[in-house]
Amino acid sequence: MKYRIEISSVAEFEADSAFLRLSQVTSPSRASQWYAKLLQAIDSLSQMPKRCPLAPENEYFSQEIRQLLYGRGRNSYRILSLFCRGKKYLQCGILHIRHAAQEILGEDPDESNAT
């Protein structure tokens, strides 16, 4: 089964912002290569998207949210997605592209610092 990929405007903005940040600290060709591989990773979700584990955000949303990890070390990003059945096709929606160091969506930052 093949899923149709739809990238939200928020996820597009986050990917573009990450590309711009990366292009400021590395070469433009390296940043372009990173971006092309990010798009390949997203496209890979069209085949077997549920291979990805549930995202930590899953507990805060009514629909199942999964994450695909992209990159390594300090350049790790989480591609957050959800899957649904459209009228004519199966759909994979890319909700966010977040740096792995960013806090979990839906989590109260004050609660996570409480002891």
Domains, the chain, in order of start with CATH, read 3-103 (3.30.2310.20)
pLDDT range class, residue 79, cuts 50, 70, 90? very high
C-alpha gyration radius of the chain:
15
115: confidence class by pLDDT, cuts 50, 70, 90:
very low
For residue 34, give every residue at least 6 positions away whose Cβ sits within 8 Å of its Cβ, in sequence order, or none. Answer: 19, 22, 71, 75
CA dihedral sign, ordered 24, 29, 32, 36: negative
Segment 28-52 mean pLDDT? 93
Q: What is the mean pLDDT of residues 94-102?
A: 94
Backbone angles phi, psi at 6, to 5 degrees: -130, 120
Residues in CB range of 75: below 8 A, 6 or more apart: 22, 34
* pLDDT beyond 90 at 105: no
Give the pLDDT confidence score for residue 49 in this predicted structure. 81
Q: What is the pTM of this model?
A: 0.86
